[in-house]
Amino acid sequence: MNRRKQPFKHSLGAVRFDVRTMKVFLESGYCKLTTVFGRLRYNFQLATYYQKYATWKVMNAQLKITKNACYLNVQVEQPDPKTITGDKRVGVDLGINNIAVCSDNTFWQSGPVKAVKGKYQYLRSKIQSIGTRSAKRKLQNLSGRERRFQKDVNHQIANWIVSKPYDVISLEDLTHIRNGKKNKKLGKWSYAELRSIVEYKATAIGKKIVAIDPRYTSRTCCEYSRQ
């Protein structure tokens, strides 16, 4: 006897639209959708937070129907920004003791990050020593919180780097070089994620990203070390 439930269709679902079956005017606050009754116009209210995307190009939309309201989820694409023509450069060393060190003699304070990572490492070793099924679930939740913390810090660092008054950002190409390199306090930091975030944030405002060979970039000048 087959006890599996038969598939059923929800009475309220979602409808997808593309550029052929819709016209969305974010600045004007209305859209035209193709329906079984023809092309119909609907007015909507764009939230204040999303006003900054009103001039972006609309790619597709999804009409979500609920018992109390209808929501139009719109996917937009940012137009290509104007590339900055200047050549003022800053180099960024993605280090171990400090996550990011810039050539303008500034660096991201990694002390608070090391403290939080140390706390996660302590909790992880404590939970792993228990070995129960409940401990494994807690360990999985702990790993998720740690990943979210790391991603948030990478966004903060990327914003700090991109906001600097430079036209070109030189980043180390760490492909197949530092994979797996580990620090006792920072653990295995996701430098690839940080680099990816810096790249798309810089491109969004027209700044250039240049990849450089990471060899010898972290060495101290001999003249400086003698002082």
To the nearest whole percent, how much of the chain has pLDDT over 70? 82
| Two structure tokens written together for 220 | 């101290």
Q: Which has more pLDDT, 137 or 7?
A: 137
pLDDT digits (tens, 9 = 90+) for 116-133: 888 988 888 888 888 788
pLDDT value at position 87?
A: 84
DSSP string, 65-103: E-SS-EEEEEEEEPPPPPPP----EEEEE--SSSS-EET
Q: Residue 225 — pLDDT band, cuts 50, 70, 90? A: very low
Q: Where are the domains of the chain?
A: 14-77, 89-226
Residues 81-96, mean pLDDT to the nearest whole number? 82
Residue pair 171/211 in contact (Cβ under 8 Å)? The answer is yes
Separation of alpha carbons 84 and 207, rounded Å? 6
pLDDT value at position 82?
A: 77
pLDDT value at position 65?
A: 83
Residues 125-152, mean pLDDT to the nearest whole number? 89
Separation of alpha carbons 52 and 55, rounded Å? 7
**55 pLDDT higher than 70:** yes
**199 pLDDT higher than 70:** yes
pLDDT digits (tens, 9 = 90+) for 28-48: 999 999 988 999 999 988 889
pLDDT value at position 70?
A: 85
pLDDT value at position 59?
A: 92
